Amino acid sequence: MAMEGEANEKLLKKSVAVEVGDGGEDEPLKDRIWSEAKKMWIVAGPAIFTRFSTFGIYVISQAFIGHIGSTELAAYSLVFTVLVRFSNGILLGMASALETLCGQAYGAKQYHMLGVYLQRSWIVLTICSIFLVPLFIFTAPLLKALGQDDKIAEVAGEISLWLIPVLFAFIVSFTCQMFLQAQSKNMIIAYVAALSSAVHLCLSWLLTVKYKFGILGAMSSTILAYWIPNIGQLMFVLCGGCRDTWKGFSSSAFKDLWPVIKLSLSSGAMLCLELWYNTVLVLLTGNMENAEVSIDALAICLNLVGWEMMISFGFMGAASVRVSNELGRGSSRSAKFSIMITVLTSFAIGFVLFVFFLFLRGRLAYIFTKSDEVADAVADLSPLLAISILLNSVQPVLSGVAVGAGWQSIVAYVNIISYYLVGIPVGVALAYFLRMQVKGVWVGMLFGTLVQTIVLIIITYKTDWDKQVFLARARVNEWFVAEEASHKTGTGA
């Protein structure tokens, strides 16, 4: 305890010294804005492109499967929105612990710890994925038990078996992205993601349109598309692309796993509660009249929102990296300034897209379906779609701030209140009791997102950022105490 207290005292002095030495506040405002914008776009630009390319894999698959048949489209949409979003939420959420740890360690110049954190995250996420496999095996009976249409559930069960390799692809994909992004080395991710999308588009056309392999062809191409970027990222990390932060495989990865597990669990809870929110809404839609059209329309709208969310998620990554780096470096002023610039930039882009989608209405639906009925349902939801886009330009960025500062457990509670105590009850009331159907579900989703955004703004505004600097530096240097204690114990033995 004495050693830990002494270490913490040194950390506080070091943080204060860095803070005093930070002369950023003496620069002209326009120079500070330009400097911060460049740092932000170094992370956000490749992150946005990568997320567009990665999300494009899903959309390309959906587009080709949608032209096989409406039942196949509904099944694929259901599996991805329910099952993949469920597992994706768990793994991505748990991987975001790496975003906090690597970002703050990199800011504090403890470079060698990034590779150890990456390996610890691989261990934690692999164990978690093994426990998720039964969900993919028993998808059909699970969906039937949840009240989904039997025909759609059977096709969904067939598709889900093909997605087991995709589940394990998420482990490498998410962790390497967090690891590289913390160092602002995510251009390699953008390159391999672009290659993967191009291969997927060509291969999907070849297997589903030319040779008529149907679901088999579309899912084979999907698996390959998710693994191509992983091979590229691993080669970059292991073969010298990160000489300062990757020192090879280490037995230290198996030590002190509990702090990583604890932060991974709170990170997973934070993101899962958010991503599962949409899953619950789709399940509610599956129990409505004319379920196939309702699911198709909602899935298309969620995909259109998803495209815009790729931009917001890029800024979310930028916010996380900039905040974690500056807190690790010891500058609360720079952290606050980066938050302001990132939020305002994302909101400006979101507002332009809000106007665009407001006037475009349901015309984009024909990319995903031939059905006029589905396109009309999408057009009816367009005003709500546009409002969602506007809200989603701010909320993910604030979540990125929370990840950068290590507040995942706090945001998890915020998500429970805003989504599950506000959003879903409002959606159920409007959809079933006021007979608003899909539109009622969407309004409920908007209420939940609005509440979450307001609460996150209040939390961010009222935070004592000087205290966050101390907490970040203490978290980064915890391993020193643990390593020293472990070394002394080993020596004594």
Mean pLDDT (whole number) for 99-123: 88
Contacts of 353 (CB under 8 A, 6+ apart): 308, 311, 389, 393
What pLDDT does 279 receive? 63
How many angstroms separate the CA atoms of 158 and 76, rounded? 10
How do residues 332-376 score in pLDDT, each as one tens digit?
Answer: 888 999 999 999 999 999 999 888 877 777 677 777 677 777 777
What pLDDT does 82 receive? 74
What pLDDT does 283 receive? 65
How do residues 435-465 score in pLDDT, each as one tens digit?
Answer: 787 778 788 888 888 998 999 999 999 999 9
How do residues 46-74 score in pLDDT, each as one tens digit?
Answer: 888 888 888 788 888 888 988 888 788 88
pTM for the model:
0.78
What pLDDT does 161 receive? 93
How do residues 250-282 score in pLDDT, each as one tens digit?
Answer: 888 888 787 778 777 777 777 667 666 666 666
What pLDDT does 288 receive? 60
Mean pLDDT (whole number) for 299-305: 75
What pLDDT does 479 receive? 55
Domain boundary assignment for the chain = 2-481
Written as six digits, the tokens of 37 are 């914008």
What pLDDT does 136 receive? 93
Rg value, the chain, Cα: 23
Out of 5-19, 112-126, 229-243, which region has the weakest mean confidence (pLDDT)?
A: 5-19
Residue 147 carries which side chain, given as an amino acid letter? Answer: G
Q: Give the whole-number percent of the chain exceeding pLDDT 70.
A: 85
What pLDDT does 14 receive? 47
Burial 95-115 (b: 16+ CB within 10 A, else e): bbbbbbbbbbbbbbebbebbb
How do residues 72-95 score in pLDDT, each as one tens digit?
Answer: 888 888 788 778 877 877 888 788
| Of residues 176 and 389, more confidently modeled | 176
Written as six digits, the tokens of 262 are 């604890």
Mean pLDDT (whole number) for 218-224: 93
Whole-number Cα distances in Å, 260 to 24, 405, 447, 468, 476: 33, 15, 33, 19, 12
Specify the DSSP class assigned to residue 290.
T
How do residues 307-344 score in pLDDT, each as one tens digit?
Answer: 788 888 889 889 988 998 888 888 888 899 999 999 99
How many angstroms separate the CA atoms of 33 and 39, rounded? 10
* Residue position matching structure tokens 């005003």: 383
Q: Give the whole-number percent of the chain exceeding pLDDT 90.
A: 25
Report residue 137 CA to chain centroid gap: 25
Please check the confidence at residue 480 and state whether its pLDDT lies above 60.
no
How do residues 228-254 score in pLDDT, each as one tens digit?
Answer: 999 999 999 999 889 999 988 888 888
Output the DSSP codes for 67-94. Answer: TT-HHHHHHHHHIIIIIIHHHHHHHHHH
Out of 102-116, 269-283, 466-480, which region has the weakest mean confidence (pLDDT)?
A: 269-283
Written as six digits, the tokens of 55 are 């999300």
What pLDDT does 308 receive? 80
Output the DSSP codes for 348-363. Answer: HHHHHHHHHHHHHGGG
Please classify residue 150 by burial: count the beta carbons closer than 10 Å to its beta carbon, then call 0-12 exposed, 13-18 middle and 19+ buried: exposed
Q: What mean pLDDT, rounded, does the chain reach?
A: 82
What pLDDT does 373 receive? 77
Out of 143-147, 179-183, 189-193, which region has the weakest mean confidence (pLDDT)?
A: 143-147
How many angstroms separate the CA atoms of 100 and 381, rounded? 37
Please classify residue 145 by burial: count the beta carbons closer than 10 Å to its beta carbon, then call 0-12 exposed, 13-18 middle and 19+ buried: exposed
Written as six digits, the tokens of 333 are 């002023």
Please check the confidence at residue 190 and state whether its pLDDT lies above 50.
yes
Mean pLDDT (whole number) for 173-192: 90
What pLDDT does 227 receive? 95
